[in-house]
Chains A and B, each alone.
Chain A
Amino acid sequence: MTINPDLQGRSYPAAEVYDVGREKIREFARAVKATHPAHFDVEAAKALGHRDLVAPPTFAIIIAQRADAQLIEDPEAGIDFSRVVHADQRFIHHRPIIAGDRLVAELHVDGVRAMGGGAMITTRAEIFAVSDGSSEGREPVTTTTSSILVRGEGQ
């Protein structure tokens, strides 16, 4: 299986809306062993000036990996998921993710580079908050970038 070099520059439009719930923030925070009260206690979050619970700094990975799945599952891409290794990850927060947010992610394939028999693929998810599920008046929330190494045979 080889990686399609034409992937570079491709984008996948925002798919379904992700509703950020309080219990999901609490569950994710516990899963990364976070203890800051702003993830758990609405009053503590409000005391810091937030509308509701604040998501941990890496919470957006849930939405980014859903967006990445569009690429990984695209039969034209030629990616074998069992050979994928996560190489790097970055989150740039334009504003924090807060419980009650309705988010969508637009995925861009920024780079495809052959490495041995495999390839390094760099993607960027632009995550926006939407008020009514349409793309009208959407607000930038987080930009995530991620590189995955798809190992070739024998690597």
Chain B
Amino acid sequence: MSPTFNELTAGQNIGSRTIEVTRTDLVKYAGASGDFNPIHWNEAFATGVGLPGVIAHGMFTMGAAVQLVSDWAGDPAAVVDCQTRFTKPVPVTDTTGSPEPGATIEVSGAIGKLDADAGTARIDLTVVSAGQKVLMKAQAVVRVS
């Protein structure tokens, strides 16, 4: 079900998804990635350095957002390049013990550019939380056959 280059056009949407984030997710990401910066799990530390509260790891947001591209490509190994700028933090409210998420991230993607010589498609991702774009220039290049 992988996309075929000839069927793609610039501007075409590749889909969207909603990512719900809890404090537990941030602890899991800290453990999985080895990034134990306390701004991602300790409220007092985060506010002490001037943040609105505990914030998601930028790399959590990027890593979760790029899954839209892996799934669209049909093979995560087809994602040959991905990049982003981190523009706004994603504060995650402590909802421990409740079924509510502490933040919601909306991801959508569209084909930004096709390169016939390289056989690649550049996907431009729009990543929004609480009404603000949290990633800028979030792009992934996918090898398409």
Binding site for B on A (CB under 8 A): 24, 27-28, 30-36, 38-39, 48, 50, 54-58, 61-62, 65-66, 81-93, 96
Interface flag for B49 (CB, 8 Å): yes
User: Given A28-B33, A65-B33, does the pair A87, B85 have CB atoms closer than 8 Å?
Assistant: yes
Interface flag for B14 (CB, 8 Å): no
Residue in A65, A66, A84, A96 whose beta carbon sits within 8 Å of that of B77 in the complex = A96
Structural contact, A32 and B60, CB atoms closer than 8 A: yes
Q: List 12 A-B contacts (CB under 8 A).
A: A31-B31, A32-B32, A33-B25, A33-B67, A36-B76, A38-B75, A54-B77, A55-B76, A62-B33, A62-B34, A65-B33, A90-B84
Residue in A56, A86, A91 whose beta carbon sits within 8 Å of that of B70 in the complex = A56
Structural contact, B62 and A48, CB atoms closer than 8 A: no
Residue in B70, B74, B83 whose beta carbon sits within 8 Å of that of A89 in the complex = B83
**A9 CA to B71 CA, complexed, in Å:** 38
Structural contact, B83 and A90, CB atoms closer than 8 A: yes
**A58 CA to B59 CA, complexed, in Å:** 8
The 6 closest A-B pairs by CB, nearest first: A32-B63, A31-B32, A90-B83, A96-B77, A58-B63, A57-B79
Residue in A30, A35, A39, A57 whose beta carbon sits within 8 Å of that of B82 in the complex = A57
Structural contact, A93 and B34, CB atoms closer than 8 A: no
Interface residues on B, range: 35 or more
Binding site for A on B (CB under 8 A): 19, 25, 28-29, 31-35, 37, 49, 58-60, 62-64, 66-67, 69-71, 74-77, 79-86, 137, 140
CB distance from B55 to the nearest CB of A (A): 10
Structural contact, B81 and A92, CB atoms closer than 8 A: yes
Residue in A55, A83, A87 whose beta carbon sits within 8 Å of that of B86 in the complex = A87
**A24 CA to B64 CA, complexed, in Å:** 16
Identity of the chain B residue whose Cβ is nearest the Cβ of A69 in the assembled complex: B34
Structural contact, B32 and A27, CB atoms closer than 8 A: yes
Structural contact, B33 and A61, CB atoms closer than 8 A: yes
Chain B hits for A85, CB < 8 A = 86
A-B contacts besides A48-B74, A57-B76, 14 pairs, CB < 8 Å: A28-B32, A31-B25, A31-B31, A31-B33, A32-B64, A34-B64, A36-B71, A36-B76, A38-B77, A56-B70, A57-B66, A57-B69, A61-B59, A90-B83
